[in-house]
Amino acid sequence: MTMTFKTAMTPTRVMGATGTKGRRRGGLLRGATRVTTTRAQMGPELKGSIDKFIAENKVVLFMKGTKEAPRCGFSNTCVQILNSMNVPFADVDILANEDLRQGMKEYSNWPTFPQLYVGGEFFGGCDITVDAFKDGSLKEELERAMLE
C-alpha cells in the first residue's frame, strides 16, 4: 500500500533586514532580505493522519520515492531488505509532500529518511535496519509485529 498525505503546516519565519539593492559581500547581497526558516510545528491533523496510518499498517517505510521506484540509495536498501524477507509493508513517499517530510522529522525525532516503523513503533533508519537485518533482530521484530 502506498499512501499520500494532504497536510497544512505553517512554518515560522523570522525576517531580517529588508531591501534588494546593495553590494555583494561574503556571498550575500548586502541590504537584501534574509529569511531564516525555523522548525515548523506539526499540526494536529497531520499528527493524527500519521498516527492512524502507522496504527493501520504493521510495517511502514517513510522513504524517498516508492517501493516500486525508490529515489534514494538508503531507501532502496530498506526496500530490498524488506522484500528479501517477504514482508508486506506500506510505503510513504515523503518527497511528494514537504509538510509531511518536515513533520516526520518531528514525529519520530529522527532527522533523516528512510524511517521504518514496525508494530506501530519507530524502528530506525537505514543503518539501524541494515544492522538489525544482519544480526537477526529485525526478523524477530517483524515476526512479533505480524503476530499482534
pLDDT in tens, 84-128: 999 999 999 999 999 999 999 999 999 999 999 999 999 999 999
Closest CA to 39 of 114, 93, 105, 108: 105
Q: What are the grid coordinates assigned to 76, written together?
A: 532502496
Is residue 54 within 8 Å of 5, Cβ to Cβ? Answer: no
- 40 pLDDT above the threshold of 70: no
- 5 pLDDT above the threshold of 90: no
Domain 42-147 -> CATH class: alpha beta
Q: How confident is the model at residue 43 (pLDDT cuts 50, 70, 90)?
A: confident
- 29 pLDDT above the threshold of 50: no
Q: Hey, how many other C-beta atoms are within 10 angstroms of the C-beta on 36? A: 9
- Write out the residue limits of the CATH 3.40.30.10 domain(s) in the chain: 42-147
Q: Residue 85 — left, alpha, or beta (φ > 0 → left; ψ -120 to 50 → alpha)? A: alpha
**HEC assignment per residue over 82-116:** HHHCCCCCEEEEHHHCHHHHHHHHHHHCCCCCCEE
The full length of the chain comes to: 148
